Structure 1
Amino acid sequence: MNRQMKRAQRRQGTTLDRARATAPARRNQAVADRKRTGIRQFLKEVRQELKKVLWPTRRELVTYTIVVLVTVVVLTTYVFGLDVVFSKFVLDVFA
């Protein structure tokens, strides 16, 4: 919230300062109510979540890998070309 909005709220008599003062108290209470879980429970939940993941097939993985490699080669070549052009330009102008 910016300064102008705060001034407008003060003129109208409505401010959010009271709501902001109670928000951290609620947050601290929510944190205190949660029970810590052990490493065994954590790993069990991680395993359950990983079972839900839709893993790519081998064909999709190969396709994605090829796309990434081709993109890297094309962009590297483009940047190299720009570097050569600009370095020749700078050498011609300042040499």
Structure 2
Amino acid sequence: MEYRFGDDGAQISGEFTFTDHASFKAMIDRLLSDRSSSVTLDLGQLQFIDSAGLGMLLLARDAFGKADRKLVLRAPCGQVKRMFGLTKFDTLFSVEN
């Protein structure tokens, strides 16, 4: 997984798996340090996500919720969008197309 920060959050690209735990946590910690009310994770360039990646998104959602902030997932496509549909993640998150 690779990521880069933008004006309203971060863009994630590549493959998001268990091995990305440390870098994802560091990214989320940095996003939490910014005090905006809503943070967007752009998933348009993310090609693959496994169950561990899905679990990390849930942990991020909980962390933002505890901080009284909104986490928005933007533009999941391909395998990521299919995983969201199968796991009903599209009902657990605010997802923008």
Structure 2-normalised TM-score? 0.21
More strand by share: 2
Structure 1-normalised TM-score? 0.21
More helix by share: 1
Larger radius of gyration: 1
Greater relative contact order structure (CA < 8 Å, 6+ sep): 2
